[in-house]
Structure 1
Amino acid sequence: MTQPSLQMDRTAWIMLIALAAVWGGSFFFAEVALGEVPPLTITLHRVFWTIPILAVIVAMKRIPVPRNPRIWLGYLGMGALNNAIPFSLIFWGQTQIESGLASILNGTTAMFGAVVAGVLLADEPLTARKIGGAVLGLIGVGVIMGPEAVSGFNPANLAQLAIMGAALSYAFASVWGRVMLAGQPPLMNALGMVTASALIMAPVVWIVDGPPALSLTATTWGALLSLAALSTGLAYVLYFAILVRAGAANLMLVTLLIPPFAITLGALFLGERMAPEAWIGFAIIAVGFAVNDGRVFGRLRR
């Protein structure tokens, strides 16, 4: 007996928009915190303060904490690939480019994820559609970066490459999670992941930035705690709720909804303005997502 396809009902759409808002807000909160806190330390704050939030949720749901060393190895890999590396690259990138632009470049994650999964996972073959979507995503990035990206060194271009590196890290994280953490409770996976991330980042921050300063302004603390509570803790709860209700394919729509929130917050509160080529690049990336997803063109053919 076949399972019915998962659909986006009104509740799923509300949760998806809320998820896009809190994830889009992460770029804004990071931009605010960067005024006082270095990028690596922001990453540590983001994962460290998320631990008690998710721990309370896991305890309330009576989800058992695994004792299998292989599962904790899985958490360690996810902590590095899905949190420590991409968060640090994105936050450093935001020291050179606007938060809205960073969110647009991060939107290539879905296309890269499809290609990486196609290469590494036997049950997700690499198709012409996935390759076409990834190529369009790269074209969109090329339009954003412009021809000067290959004509000389520019810190802004290096920052954009850092965001792309974060997207690629997210792509490998999805494969790692499929292989190492299949069948584990999702919220426990999230708690294990942020715990491992904090263990990874603590010595790195101590060596590179020194002990984290606690004498920060209320605005900075608000941004850091919002990163943890909203853009990480609440985001994971929404993420897994949408995954169960509407499925992974519908969940990936959040990729296209994040940049508008990040761009709007940057424009309203940080005075950021996107160049025309950024909007053109975003449009091309959106088409690449549609090609990769396949459902829009499938409906047009029917």
Structure 2
Amino acid sequence: MSTQKHLTPRVWAELFLLALLWGAVFFANRIALDEIGPITLVAHRTLWAALLLWLMILATRTALPRSPRLWGAFLVMGLLNNLIPFSLLNFAQLTIESGLASIFNAATAFWGVLLAALFLPDERLTLAKTLGITLGFIGVATAIGLSHLTALDPHSLAQIAALLATLSYGLAGVWARKHLAGCSPMVASAGMLTCTTILALPLAHVTEGPISLSLSASTWAAIAYASILGTAVAYLLYYRVLAAAGSGNLLVVTLLIPPVAILLGTIFLNESIPPRAYAGFAFLTLGLIVLDGRLLARLRFKKPT
């Protein structure tokens, strides 16, 4: 983990806002999926988000990316950080509850630590990290349920899809560290989303039919939220919080997203997730606490009064 930073009230507010933005994406996606397909939703989400970011880049006169190597890095990031995980999570939400999908999404942090240790020379797999990762994947297995681990029914496949999405996110984090260091966050986000759109539009056309703009008001509202607030604005806020709080403190967001998604799903979608999902989330939370390390360090060195 990187050196921890002190969290000011403003940073705490931004952490909660980021969790709210991303947590509500699961709710918005579920609404949109009632009318459009999973990959079509990805195309809409990335297209409008990319357009907004390019407008901001032009308005701020930020230097445009011209290097073919950089655009190649954007293409891979578009696959690993957008097209693959967005599509898998959308597919999963056709079957499983939005709150449950958000719990599986928390596994991203564990894949990120494990893959960084495997592929980045400056990241070591310490005993604490190993324990945290183990607890995290116990949480995932608990949330899936022992009876579903070997089954291939639609519910199990949806849960596996959600888990594979987090693996893709983890790979994206490693790729970004190796190939996008020093790139402007706004430019990196816009380039990545543009490449995703270029890939998603024809893929959606082939697999789900022509993309229609004649959609219901609720679907457009869901798309607008997922693309503008849940993607473009959330990416910018993410990098702002990362700079102010550090990567370790961003684990807090991972813990705050599921409660938001579960609450929205319960109130507006009448969803009810099984008790094992809450037990799994408890293990995930414990794993993230171990990965973070600060709470355990305080308990270890706390002097008796």
The answer, yes or no, to whether TM exceeds 0.5 is yes
Could you say which residue in structure 2 is the equivalent of 1:248? 247
Change (3 A) 1:10 1:213: same
Q: How many residues align?
A: 300
> How far 1:25 sits from its partner (Å)?
0.7
Distance 1:79 1:246 in 2: 25
Distance 1:59 1:92 in 2: 35
Q: Deviations over 1:139-186 (max 9, x none)?
A: 111111212124432211111110110000000000100111111111
Counterpart residue identity of residue 92, structure 1: F
- Report the TM-score when normalising by structure 2: 0.96
Report the secondary structure of 1:173's partner residue: helix
Counterpart residue identity of residue 237, structure 2: L
Distance 1:59 1:247 in 2: 28
Could you say which residue in structure 1 is the equivalent of 2:72? 73
The answer to whether the Cα contact below 8 Å between 2:4 and 2:248 also exists between their aligned partners in 1 is no
Distance 1:249 1:138 in 2: 19
Could you say which residue in structure 2 is the equivalent of 1:270? 269
RMSD: 1.4
Distance 1:173 1:153 in 2: 27
Report the secondary structure of 2:181's partner residue: coil
- Give me the identity figure in percent: 43
Could you say which residue in structure 2 is the equivalent of 1:207? 206
Unmatched runs of 5 consecutive residues or more in structure 1: none
- Report the TM-score when normalising by structure 1: 0.96
> How far 1:246 sits from its partner (Å)?
1.3
> How far 1:68 sits from its partner (Å)?
1.0
The answer to whether the Cα contact below 8 Å between 2:129 and 2:290 also exists between their aligned partners in 1 is yes
Could you say which residue in structure 1 is the equivalent of 2:179? 180
Could you say which residue in structure 2 is the equivalent of 1:282? 281
Counterpart residue identity of residue 183, structure 2: Q
Report the secondary structure of 1:62's partner residue: coil
Alignment of 1:53-64 (within 5 A): 53-64=52-63
Could you say which residue in structure 2 is the equivalent of 1:159? 158
Runs of 4+ in 1 over 6 A off after TM superposition: none
Report the secondary structure of 1:6's partner residue: coil
> How far 1:250 sits from its partner (Å)?
1.0
Change (3 A) 1:18 1:210: same
> How far 1:61 sits from its partner (Å)?
2.6
The answer to whether the Cα contact below 8 Å between 2:141 and 2:149 also exists between their aligned partners in 1 is no
Could you say which residue in structure 2 is the equivalent of 1:15? 14
The answer to whether the Cα contact below 8 Å between 2:149 and 2:156 also exists between their aligned partners in 1 is no
Q: 1:144 and 2:143 equivalent?
A: yes
Distance 1:150 1:245 in 2: 40
Q: 1:32 and 2:31 equivalent?
A: yes
Q: Deviations over 1:222-266 (max 9, x none)?
A: 001110011001101110111111111112210000000000100
Moved more, 213-222 or 151-160: 151-160
Moved more, 132-141 or 92-101: 132-141
Moved more, 125-134 or 17-26: 125-134
Q: Deviations over 1:53-106 (max 9, x none)?
A: 111222233211121111111100100000000000000000010000000011
Counterpart residue identity of residue 41, structure 2: I
Distance 1:68 1:195 in 2: 15
> How far 1:32 sits from its partner (Å)?
0.4
Could you say which residue in structure 2 is the equivalent of 1:93? 92
